Amino acid sequence: MVDLRRARLLKDGIAGPGPVVYWMSRDQRARDNWALLFAQERALQRKVPLVVAFSLSPSFLGATIRQYGFMIEGLKEVEEELAAKNISFQVMAGNPEKTIPAMISKLKAGLLVTDFDPLRIKREWKEKVRERISVPFWEVDAHNVVPCWVASHKQEFSARTFRPKIDRLLPEFKVEFPVLKKHPFSWERRASIPWERLSKSLRVDKSVSEVKWIKPGEKAAKRALNSFLERKLSSYQEVRNRSELDGQSHLSPYLHFGQLSAQRVVLEAEKADVPQVDREAFLEELIVRRELSDNYCFYNLYYDHFEGFPDWAKKTLNQHRSDAREYLYELEELEMGRTHDELWNSAQLEMVIRGKMHGFMRMYWAKKILEWTPSPEDALEVAIYLNDRYELDGRDPNGYTGIAWSIGGVHDRAWGSRPIFGKIRYMSYRGCARKFNVPSYIEKVRAWL
Ligand code: FAD
Ligand code: FO1
């Protein structure tokens, strides 16, 4: 049984005689998916078919063909997996505010389930759908190990205040997943999904090329997880911040598109035969940092605005608004990696070429944007624009929170005051050089040009 604390009733209503519909959005996978398992439980209780619906929006927060290509390949695998379980998968071109209510009335659906996502656009989508349907509408947190609304009832100040709440609840939620059953009630057979036509419905920038170094989909995600656990986890603590090395898991694109469950990663990482210090360092990022990002976006409506920063940070940044900027760069110069700083340029080019900047570099990268643009608002806009345009894992609570941490001190503390930054933590080229081998990072990126 799915723990009922993972589900919230967004709207009560009169259940129809038809199938249960799971509107899949954030968690785009058949395996280890609490929202799908919850929907199947309801369909079995009512002895009705189970239909999974995905609404392919023509655009999404500046995503390009790079991200849509990765996502659509993953959805093709979902289609296969669900067909094998006698679960109908329907992908509709268009805005979910229209396509989902239309489907509910067409199928005379019994009940609607969707997966949790704290982003503003998702809140708006769900609000519109909620107004236009009259069947019960459930939201299930299939992304976090500890459901966001259970972990904390308010915006957390920092990882320090959040961690004890997560640690206390983790044992109850860090459970093995039930297996998705072959569904005994069939929905009418549908022709296979017209992927060509659906891709033509997209209104996306095709100038940001798809990347080849990482394969999309649930199977590739599982392979990536296994190879990380076997080959890299045992040196994670020591290597993870050394940008010239390849010590990260590269799971974030799979986690962002929900092609892999973070809870699955936790369950497997717990079994891995590696030093405790490495496991803990990894789980701190994967559980505490990641779920803290959902907490920030869920409880702070201004998660991508200056307004969302803590008072001390707004105060200090305001005090330093008119400090002289030694360097000022236009968006194009930043986007092309044409600044005076070779290290920063390499990080920018790594993101543009590979679609995934090294985690340590993202902090330095965003902080320099604060230093080289006219205001914190400009810095936020530029950082979010570039992050969401080029990162495979962009358009994610982790991104908005990571940028707010770097530029606005969210979840961080005040440091010694300095020009432009005030008390916001500063990061310098020299500081990087103490942490990792800068010349070989620059060399590594140059080799990709
Ligand atoms: P690993 O080091 O292998 O970590 C494993 C997982 O832990 C990650 O996939 C992620 O889910 C989680 N994690 C690791 N570091 C963080 C963190 N700092 N905050 C939250 N979760 C974390 N992450 C995104 O998913 N999308 C983004 O758009 C994004 N933008 C960022 C922008 C800035 C300015 C900063 C400072 C951080 C950003 N991050 C973002 C967080 C982090 O850098 C990435 O999650 C990480 O680099 C992804 O690579 P990985 O999966 O190989 O990481
Ligand atoms: N979710 C959808 O329900 N429909 C989409 O068409 C869609 C496109 C999309 C493109 C890029 C991207 O990064 C995310 C996209 N998402 C879409 C949402 C995604 O599944 C995640 O829910 C959020 O981006 C992260 O919270």
User: What superfamily in CATH does domain 4-143 come from?
Assistant: HUPs (3.40.50.620)
In the chain, what percentage of residues exceed pLDDT 70? 100
Supply the pLDDT for residue 259.
98
- Find out whether the beta carbon of 13 lies less than 6 Å from any atom of ligand 1: no
In the chain, what percentage of residues exceed pLDDT 90? 98
Sheet holding 20-23, edge to edge: 7-11, 137-140, 111-115, 20-23, 50-56, 88-93
pLDDT reading at 90 higher than 80: yes
Confidence of residue 404 (pLDDT cuts 50, 70, 90): very high
Supply the pLDDT for residue 279.
98
Supply the pLDDT for residue 326.
97
pLDDT reading at 188 higher than 90: no
Q: Pick left, alpha or beta for residue 60 (phi over 0 → left; psi -120 to 50 → alpha; otherwise beta).
A: beta
- Find out whether the beta carbon of 60 lies less than 6 Å from any atom of ligand 2: yes
Supply the pLDDT for residue 422.
98
Best mutation site among 29, 55, 57, 120 for ligand 2 pocket (most ligand atoms within 8 Å of CB): 57
- Whether 4-143 and 144-178+216-301 share one fold: the answer is no
The CATH architecture one would assign to domain 144-178+216-301 is: Alpha Horseshoe (1.25)
Confidence of residue 214 (pLDDT cuts 50, 70, 90): very high
User: Closest ligand 2 atom to the C-alpha of 96?
Assistant: 3
pLDDT tens per residue across span 243-287: 999 999 999 999 999 999 999 999 999 999 999 999 999 999 999
Supply the pLDDT for residue 89.
97
Confidence of residue 190 (pLDDT cuts 50, 70, 90): confident
Supply the pLDDT for residue 103.
96
DSSP string, 234-276: GGHHHHTT-TTS--S---HHHHHTTSS-HHHHHHHHHHS-S-H
Supply the pLDDT for residue 14.
86
Of 236, 241, 239, 226, which is closest to residue 275 (Cα–Cα)?
236
Mean pLDDT of the chain: 97
pLDDT reading at 99 higher than 80: yes
| Nearest ligand, measured from the Cα of 399 | 1
User: Closest ligand 2 atom to the C-alpha of 115?
Assistant: 22
pLDDT reading at 192 higher than 90: no
pLDDT tens per residue across span 324-344: 999 999 999 999 999 999 999
Of 118, 27, 37, which is closest to residue 75 (Cα–Cα)?
27
Confidence of residue 390 (pLDDT cuts 50, 70, 90): very high
pLDDT reading at 191 higher than 90: no
User: Closest ligand 2 atom to the C-alpha of 256?
Assistant: 25
Least-confidence region, from 104-108, 140-144, 187-191, 363-367: 187-191
Supply the pLDDT for residue 331.
98
- Find out whether the beta carbon of 316 lies less than 6 Å from any atom of ligand 1: no
Average the pLDDT over 111-129 and give the result: 98
- What whole-number distance in Å separates Cα of residue 201 and Cα of residue 333? 32
Supply the pLDDT for residue 16.
83
- Find out whether the beta carbon of 72 lies less than 6 Å from any atom of ligand 2: no
Nearest residue (by CA) to ligand 1, atom 33, is 402
Cα(90) to centroid(ligand 1), Å: 31
Which residue ranges make up each domain of the chain? 4-143, 144-178+216-301, 306-446
Average the pLDDT over 193-202 and give the result: 96
The CATH architecture one would assign to domain 306-446 is: Orthogonal Bundle (1.10)
